Structure 1
Amino acid sequence: MKKLAIILISTLLSVAPIEAKDNKTVKIKVIETSDVHGHFFPYDFMEQTPIKGTLSRANTYIKKQRKKYGEDHFLLIDNGDILQGQPCVYWSNYVMPEDENIAASVINYMKYDAETVGNHDIEPGHKVYDKWIREVRCPLLGANIVKEEYKNAEARPEHIYTGLKPYSVHYKDGVKIVVIGMITPAIPNWLNKSIWKGLEFEEMTACAKKWIKYVKENEKPDLIFGLFHSGLNGGIKTAEYEEDATESVAREVPGFDIIFFGHDHQVHNMLITNKAGEKVLCVDPSCYVNNVAEAEITLTYKDGKLSKKSIIGNIVNVRDEKIDKQMITYFQPTIDKVKEYVSQKIGYFKNPIYTRESFFGNSAFTDLIHNLQMSISKADISFNAPLAFDTTIDAGEVTQADMFKLYRFENLLFVLKMTGEEIRKHLEFSYDMWCNTMTSPNDHALRLNDDSKEDQQRTGFQYYTFNFDSACGIDYEVDLTKPDGQKVRILRMSNGEPFDEKKWYKVVMNSYRANGGGELLTRGAGIPQDSLESRVLFHTELDQRHYLTEEIKRLGTIDPQKNNNWKFVPEAWVKPALERDRKQLFEK
C-alpha cells in the first residue's frame, strides 16, 4: 500500500463553537472513491479475467480505517461516474432493471455517507438514474443540478432536482461537517436533451459562491468539503462554463477546507491558495479504484472553540489489497448472473481485430463499426473513433463480453445532415488533435513529443482516443506535411460518385459526437451548439451497442477487413514515422 501525502495546517482566530468539552482534540479520517465505472468486483467482465483494484479490495482498506478511527470519526464518500463502465452496470441498468440497481446495492453495502452525481450517471437516462437515486440510501448530491425553471436562482434546496440534495450534513464527535456536491456542467455538450429533460446544470464557480454563503449562514459548520465531479482544469471551455473547474472554484470561492474531486481520471494531491490567502487541500484518486483519496483531519478545540486545523492529504494505492471475501460472498449470486450474461454467444469473427491499428490508418476494428453503422442507418458517411486505446477481440466465437470491448459506452446512434465542407472540417479538427505536422522525415507522425517522456506521452495520447474520428463512405488522404486545418483532401465518395463540399449528406455517428462531444462538430465543422438539434434526422431509442449486437447476430459470421478508404501521405515520410510511433506507444 503506497501513500502520497500533503499537509495543510491552519490556525483559526474565530470559529463557531461545537457541542463538546471545552478543550479537546478530534481526529477524523475521510476517504473518497471516484470514477468507479462499475469496477466493484475483482473481475473484468469484458476480458473475463481477474483484475487488481476495484471496490472489493478498497473495502478491505476502508474497513481497517473505519475500525481504526471508529464510526464517529470516519466518513466515506464517492464522487460519481458509477453507473456506466463494466458490463455488470449495463446488465443492471437495462437487462435486469426491475431489481435494485447494483450500483445502489454496492454503495449501500459499503455504508457510504454521501455521493455526488457524475456525468456517466446521467447518461443512462431518466428511467435508470431516477430509480438509482431512490435506491441509494446515503445523500446524493448535486448543488448545480437544478430544476429547469430555477437555473441561476438564489440558493434554495427545493430548487435542486427531486431526490438530490445540494449538500449533506454530518456530525462526527461533535464536529459539524457539510459536504457540497457539484457536477461538471458540460452535460449539454455530450448528451441529447431528452436524457436530462427538466434539468439545468449551473456554472460551478457561481454556484459554489451561492452555496458557501448559504451553508455558512444557515448551517455554521466546522468543516466544509467540496465533492466535485469535475477535473482540475482544462476540458471544454465556453463563455458559460468550464468542464473542469475544481481549480477555479478552489481559488475563487473561499470557504472550502478540502475539495475531493474526480472526472479527469488523473491523480491529484495538492494545496491551492484561494483569493483570501487560505490553503485548500484538493485530492483526486483517479479512476477504476486503483487508489482512494483521503484526508486525515485533526481539530483542536480550546474553550469550546475550534482553534486549529491540521489536514493531511493522501493518495492510497489499493490495487493489491486483499479481496474482501465477505463482500464477494454477499454479491456472488449477482456476479454469477453477470458472468452468465456476458458469456452468451453473439456471432463469429474470422479474424482478430485491434484498436491499436486505428491510429496508423484504416483498422478492421474501427471499420467494422463504421460498416455496421452504415448498414443500420443507411447513411452516406460514418464517423467513428476508437473508444479504447489498446483492445483486442480475438478470432472465433464472439460473446456479449466482446461487445463491451467493441463498443464501451451506452451512446445512442444519430444521423445528422452535414454539408461536404462541414464533413471535411470535422475531419480536419479530428486529425489535428491526433497527428503532428511533419517538417522532416525524422518527426513524429502522431502528436507525441519528447521520446524521453514515453510514459507521459503514451498516457496523454491514449486519454483522447475517443475523439480521434475517421470516416467511412468517402475516400481521402491526410497529408501530414500540411498545417493544421489543411491536412485532409477528400477524393471521392467510396461508391465512385464525386464528393461535393456544397452538397448535403446524411452522416451517422454516436450521440456523444452528435451533441457536440469533443467539439468536432462545433469548433471543428463550425456548427453552432444550439443548431445541432435541428440537424438531427434520426436517432435510435436504445443504445448503440444493442444495435451493433443485433446486427452481428443477424450476420452470424463476419470477416472483419480494413476498408482501405483513407491513408496518411506522403508515404515516404509517414510510413517509417508511423512505425517509430507504433513502437513508442505499444512496445513497453
Structure 2
Amino acid sequence: MEKNGTKNHQTLQLTILATSDIHGHVLPIRYVDNKETDNGLLRLATIIEQERKQKDNVLVIDNGDLLQGTPFAFYHACLDQSAHPIIGLMNHLRLDAFIPGNHEFNYGLNFVNRAKSESEYPWLSANIVKEGTDEPYFGCPYRIFLMPGGVRVGLLGLTTPYIPNWEQPSHIAGLSFESAVSAAKRWVPLMKEREGVDILIVSYHGGFERDVQSGEETEELTGENEGWQLCQEVEGIDVLITGHQHQRIGGASIGNTLVVQPGYQGSCLAQIDLLLQKGDDGAWVVKDCDSRLREASEAAVNPDLAERVRSCEDNTQRWLDQPLCEVRGEMRVVDPMAARMQEHPLIELVNRIQMEAAGVDISCTSLFDNLAPGFGPHVSMREVTANYPYPNTLKVLLLSGRDIAEALEWTAAYFALANDGSIIVDPSYLSPKPQHFNYDMWAGIEYAISVSRPVGSRIEGLKYQDKPLDPLGQYEVAMNHYRASGGGNYRMFRGKPVVREVTVDMTEIIAEYLTKTGIVHARTNGNWTVRS
C-alpha cells in the first residue's frame, strides 16, 4: 500500500510473557510458617490474565523447573495420584508451551509422562532425544504460531544437557541429552527454511556462561549453560528466554538477540513487547522491542484461581502438620553461616540418619540454603520439608582416601577471607545464583578447614578412626544421589562404584527415623572445624 507517495508498511504488536523456575511456588506463602509472600504463580497468573484481556496477540511460555520445589509440589508428585494442580492451573491459563527443566525429572519418567499427558499444551525440547536417535523425546521440538497478517512465529524449546550429571540414571533411562547449541544449529535452519518462520523465539532452560553485559566468563565451561554461545553461534534468534540460574534479566542484547531471565519462585515474569513490520519483500521483521520484568508483588491473587487449588492445598497442609517427634536441646538454625563453620546438631542428625539408613559410618550432607529453620521442640513434616526441600535418595560410593581428600578440598573452596581477615562465602558460590548446597559437611571422619591456606591445600588433620586417612584405602560413603553423580562439580565422585542405593526419598527416611525415635537429642561430636 502507498499513501502520499510512500509505502505504508503493515505492523503487528506481539507480547510474550515468560515464567521460569517457579519451583512449585503456587500460593504466595512460606510453608515453614504459612506466612504470606510477594511471589508465586497465582500472583503472576493475575498479570497474565490481565494481559490476555487487554491485548490480542499474547504468547505465554513457561521455561521449566515448574513441578518441583515446595511441599505442595512434592505432595502432588509423590503422594497424590490425582490430576496435578499446577498443570491444571497452566491449562486454565492457556499456556502456549512448556519447556521441561532439569528438576522435572526428579520424580522419574513415569511422573514426567503422566504430567505431559495431563498438559493441554506442548512440551518442547529439541535436545532431549530418544537414546540412539535424534528423535525428540517429547515429539515436535518446536511450535509455529500463525498470527494476523500471516506472520509465522516459531518457538524452539531447549533444556540444559547437564541433567545426567545430577539425575539418577533410572529417572532418565532411554534418554540422551544433546548440546543445546548443536540442537539449535540443526533445528533453527529447518524452522526458517521448511516452516517459513518470520520471527524466532528460543526458550532455553539454561543460563549464561558469560556475563550478559561484559561478555566475561563467569563459570567453568561445562555445557551446563550455553546461552551466550547460542546467541553468538546460532543465526536468526530474535528472542532468547533463559532460566536455570535464577537471574533477573529484564532485557539485554547479545548480538542481535534480545535475552531475558525471569528470576525464580514466581517472583516475576518477563514481558517482551515486539513491534513487527512487514517489509517490501513480504517478510516480517522485528521493527522495535521493549522488555521488562513484571513483579509478582504488583498483583493480587485472583480468589477464583486460589479456589481451584484449595482442596489440594488443604491436603498438603494436613500432611505437613503430621507430628513426628520431640527435640530435647537446641536444633534451630539461627545463623546459617555459623552452622557451616561449626558443626550444627541438625547437620549431625541428618548425617547420622544417612549412615543408619545406608549401613555405613561415613556420610556427607549440606545445609541446602539460608532459609532452613532447623528443628524446634516439636517436629512435623513441615519442618522436615523446610530443611530438606529436594527429592533426593541415597547412594553409597566406594571411595579412596584420596577421593575423600579431594572432595574436602573442593568443598573448602566455599570459604574465602575478607579484607579484614574474617571468613566469608566465596563470591563464586553466590552468583549467578546461591549454591550453598554445594558445601558439604562430613561425619565419620575428622578434619579441619584452614581458610587462610590456598584453595586445594586447606584440609588439615584428616583422620578416620583416630588414624590418618589412607589415600589408597577404600571407604564406603553415604551421600545424596545428586552429589554421588558428581553434582556441584565433584568430579572425583563420577564413575565411582556404587555399593548400594537407598531408593526411598530422604524426607521419608528422615520422617521414619524421627517417628521411630520419638525423642531426639540435639548433639554434635566436633569432628570438624573451620578456622582462618
TM-score norm. by structure 1 comes to 0.83
Matched, 1:105 2:88: yes
Q: Distance in 1 between matches of 2:462 and 2:41?
A: 51
Which secondary structure state, in structure 2, belongs to the residue aligned with residue 339 of structure 1? helix
Q: Which amino acid aligns with 1:272?
A: S
Q: Distance in 2 between matches of 1:564 and 1:416?
A: 24
Matched, 1:227 2:203: yes
Matched, 1:268 2:239: no
1:122-154 Cα distance to aligned partner (Å, 9 max, x none):
12111211111111110111100000011xx4x
Contact 2:142 2:154 in 1 (8 A): yes
Q: Which amino acid aligns with 2:415?
A: C
Q: What does residue 180 of structure 2 align with?
A: 204
Q: What does residue 555 of structure 1 align with?
A: 517
Tell me the CA shift for residue 307 of structure 1: 5.8
Instruction: Give runs of aligned pairs for residues 147-546 of structure 1, distance below 5 A.
Output: 147-150=130-133, 153=134, 159-161=135-137, 163-173=138-148, 174-233=150-209, 242-274=223-255, 279-301=256-278, 304-306=282-284, 309-350=287-328, 351-354=330-333, 355-432=336-413, 434-436=414-416, 442-448=420-426, 459-460=430-431, 463-493=434-464, 495-496=465-466, 499-520=469-490, 522=491, 525=492, 529=494, 531-532=495-496, 535-546=497-508
Contact 2:324 2:515 in 1 (8 A): yes
Q: Distance in 1 between matches of 2:143 and 2:433?
A: 36
Contact 1:356 1:390 in 2 (8 A): no
Which secondary structure state, in structure 2, belongs to the residue aligned with residue 141 of structure 1? coil
Contact 1:42 1:50 in 2 (8 A): yes
Which secondary structure state, in structure 2, belongs to the residue aligned with residue 58 of structure 1? helix
Picking from 127, 130, 136, the partner of 2:110 is 127
1:228-281 Cα distance to aligned partner (Å, 9 max, x none):
00012268756xx5111111101110111101110001111344344xxxx110
Contact 1:116 1:229 in 2 (8 A): yes
Q: Distance in 1 between matches of 2:279 and 2:417?
A: 64
1:338-384 Cα distance to aligned partner (Å, 9 max, x none):
11111111212222321443322211222211111112112121111
1:396-423 Cα distance to aligned partner (Å, 9 max, x none):
2211111111211001111001111211
Describe the shift of the 1:237–1:137 C-alpha distance in structure 2 as closer, same or farther (beyond 3 A): farther
Contact 1:42 1:54 in 2 (8 A): yes
Q: Distance in 1 between matches of 2:332 and 2:87?
A: 35
Contact 2:181 2:229 in 1 (8 A): yes
1:295-331 Cα distance to aligned partner (Å, 9 max, x none):
1011122565436521211111122411111101122
Q: Distance in 2 between matches of 1:458 and 1:188?
A: 22
Q: Distance in 2 between matches of 1:308 and 1:509?
A: 50
Q: Distance in 2 between matches of 1:508 and 1:430?
A: 16
Tell me the CA shift for residue 515 of structure 1: 0.5
Contact 1:474 1:490 in 2 (8 A): no
Q: Distance in 2 between matches of 1:78 and 1:146?
A: 20
Describe the shift of the 1:52–1:437 C-alpha distance in structure 2 as closer, same or farther (beyond 3 A): closer
Where is the helix percentage greater, Structure 1 or Structure 2? 1
Q: Distance in 1 between matches of 2:431 and 2:188?
A: 35
Q: Which amino acid aligns with 1:401?
A: R
Contact 2:327 2:378 in 1 (8 A): yes
Contact 1:186 1:236 in 2 (8 A): no
Q: Which amino acid aligns with 2:313?
A: I
Q: What does residue 25 of structure 2 align with?
A: 39
Q: Distance in 1 between matches of 2:69 and 2:286?
A: 42
Which secondary structure state, in structure 1, belongs to the residue aligned with residue 416 of structure 2? coil
Tell me the CA shift for residue 45 of structure 1: 2.5
Which secondary structure state, in structure 2, belongs to the residue aligned with residue 518 of structure 1? coil
Q: Distance in 2 between matches of 1:160 and 1:237?
A: 28
- Tell me the number of residue pairs that the alignment of Structure 1 and Structure 2 aligns: 514
Contact 2:245 2:433 in 1 (8 A): no
Q: Which amino acid aligns with 1:374?
A: M
Tell me the CA shift for residue 460 of structure 1: 3.7
Contact 1:44 1:50 in 2 (8 A): yes
Q: Distance in 1 between matches of 2:432 and 2:439?
A: 10
Which secondary structure state, in structure 1, belongs to the residue aligned with residue 185 of structure 2? helix
Contact 1:46 1:86 in 2 (8 A): no
Q: Distance in 2 between matches of 1:436 and 1:68?
A: 51
1:435-469 Cα distance to aligned partner (Å, 9 max, x none):
2268x8x32323457xxxxxxx9954980110001
Which secondary structure state, in structure 2, belongs to the residue aligned with residue 146 of structure 1? strand
Which secondary structure state, in structure 1, belongs to the residue aligned with residue 95 of structure 2? coil
1:175-206 Cα distance to aligned partner (Å, 9 max, x none):
22111000001011111211100000101111
1:85-138 Cα distance to aligned partner (Å, 9 max, x none):
0111111111012x1122321211221000100000012111211111111110
Work out the percentage of aligned pairs sharing the same amino acid.
Answer: 25
1:485-509 Cα distance to aligned partner (Å, 9 max, x none):
111123432x545532221111000
Which secondary structure state, in structure 2, belongs to the residue aligned with residue 323 of structure 1? coil
Q: Distance in 1 between matches of 2:456 and 2:286?
A: 56
Q: What does residue 215 of structure 2 align with?
A: none
Q: Which amino acid aligns with 2:505?
A: D
Describe the shift of the 1:179–1:415 C-alpha distance in structure 2 as closer, same or farther (beyond 3 A): same
Contact 1:43 1:51 in 2 (8 A): yes
Q: What does residue 60 of structure 2 align with?
A: 76
Contact 1:34 1:80 in 2 (8 A): yes
Q: Which amino acid aligns with 2:488?
A: G
Q: Which amino acid aligns with 1:509?
A: M
